[in-house]
Amino acid sequence: EAQVTQNPRYLITVTGKKLTVTCSQNMNHEYMSWYRQDPGLGLRQIYYSMNVEVTDKGDVPEGYKVSRKEKRNFPLILESPSPNQTSLYFCASSLNGGRVSNQPQHFGDGTRLSIL
């Protein structure tokens, strides 16, 4: 089954304790992306990757890191989490590398992070 898998689904942690949210897709997609969803703000892009070893900042990259060493995986790293990073996070992927204009994105089920 084609899917985007995120782990963990839920995490409660404390300020400053490094964490990683994993994302894996099994569709051989070139493009992957991370979003955060906050009430009243909709979805905002954190980082995206057009292909292996290519990553770019989205609208709200501060406090986050990503890597794309393999095509299927795109982990999101919070080196020193803070309470303002409490949010619902989504990973997504789509087929296109250079041109993303007409391909839909496939989303994971989300990771709810609470930073105390």
Partner 1 sequence: GDSVTQMEGPVTLSEEAFLTINCTYTATGYPSLFWYVQYPGEGLQLLLKATKADDKGSNKGFEATYRKETTSFHLEKGSVQVSDSAVYFCALSGRNTPLVFGKGTRLSVIA
- Where along the sequence are the contacts to partner 1 (CB under 8 A)? 4, 33, 35, 40-43, 45, 48, 58, 90, 92, 98-102, 104-110
Q: Cβ contacts of residue 104 below 8 Å, gap of 6+?
A: 94
The nearest distance, CB 16 to partner 1, in angstroms, is 29
Task: Give whichever of 6 and 17 is closer to partner 1, judged by the CB atom.
Answer: 6
The nearest distance, CB 115 to partner 1, in angstroms, is 21
Task: Give whichever of 87 and 105 is closer to partner 1, judged by the CB atom.
Answer: 105
88 CB-contact burial (10 Å; exposed 0-12 / middle 13-18 / buried 19+): middle
Cα-to-chain-centroid distance, residue 11: 15
Cα-to-chain-centroid distance, residue 116: 21
The nearest distance, CB 90 to partner 1, in angstroms, is 6
Task: Give whichever of 26 and 82 is closer to partner 1, judged by the CB atom.
Answer: 26
Q: Say if CB 59 and CB 41 are below 8 A apart.
A: no
Task: Give whichever of 81 and 108 is closer to partner 1, judged by the CB atom.
Answer: 108
